Amino acid sequence: MRTLIFILIILALNACYYNEGPAEFPAGEVMGYQPIYATEDDLEIAFVNDQPIENPGKIYIYQQYLLINDRLKGVHVFDNADPKNPKSLGFIRIIGNVDIAIKGFILYADQINDLVAIDISDIKNPVELDRKKSIYTYNEQLPPQDNNYFECVDDARAHLLRGWKLTQLYNPQCFR
């Protein structure tokens, strides 16, 4: 009996804490998060000039190349013929990319919700071979910080959501 009473007390205490957000949303300007959506042009995979490494992820050796994933941006390409002195060759832009894998001459990469197969046999001329659409659920459908206002995600463009920007919002209708 004591165990049952103890469990009921714990459940009752847990029920007392619930953060449902503000009773009213603010009118006017307030700091909050705005969704960043990819455009159709952003989905184009391209080899571009080298970029600074900002958020490195997986590292792969492919032939004489060193490939370093940069979260949400793409893949840095280095000539690694001399491992003591790798030289930056450029960057494979894959907006919304988090993870990569390589088999043979195919680079597999997620791009927001899609899985993309890219021929990298000519590393400076990557060619998209195949795209499986909407097989991933992008795990950042909410802003990165709790207890903040944000612009609600547009359901029609949710599959293109690639990040969040902290900025001034006007009459936000969502809170996390």
Interval 80-126: pLDDT, tens: 999 999 999 999 999 989 899 999 999 999 998 899 999 999 999 99
pLDDT-derived band at 17, boundaries 50, 70, 90: very low
The answer to whether position 156 is within a domain reads: yes
Give Cβ neighbours of residue 139 (< 8 Å, ≥ 6 apart): none
The answer to whether position 2 is within a domain reads: no
Q: For the whole model, what pTM was predicted?
A: 0.71
CB atoms inside a 10 Å sphere around CB 37? 16
User: Pick from 132, 145, 70: which is nearest to 100 by CA?
Assistant: 70
Tell me how many domains the chain contains.
2
Shared-domain flag, residues 93 and 119: yes
Question: What is the H or E stretch that residue 93 is in?
Answer: strand 87-93
pLDDT: is 71 or 25 the higher one?
71
The two structure tokens encoding residue 98 = 């988090």
pLDDT: is 30 or 137 the higher one?
30
Average pLDDT over residues 14-26: 54
Shared-domain flag, residues 77 and 25: no
Give Cβ neighbours of residue 23 (< 8 Å, ≥ 6 apart): none
pLDDT of residue 158: 80
Shared-domain flag, residues 59 and 78: yes
Strand partners of residue 90: 77
CB atoms inside a 10 Å sphere around CB 19? 8
Shared-domain flag, residues 68 and 88: yes
Shared-domain flag, residues 154 and 93: no
pLDDT exceeds cutoff 90 at 52:
yes
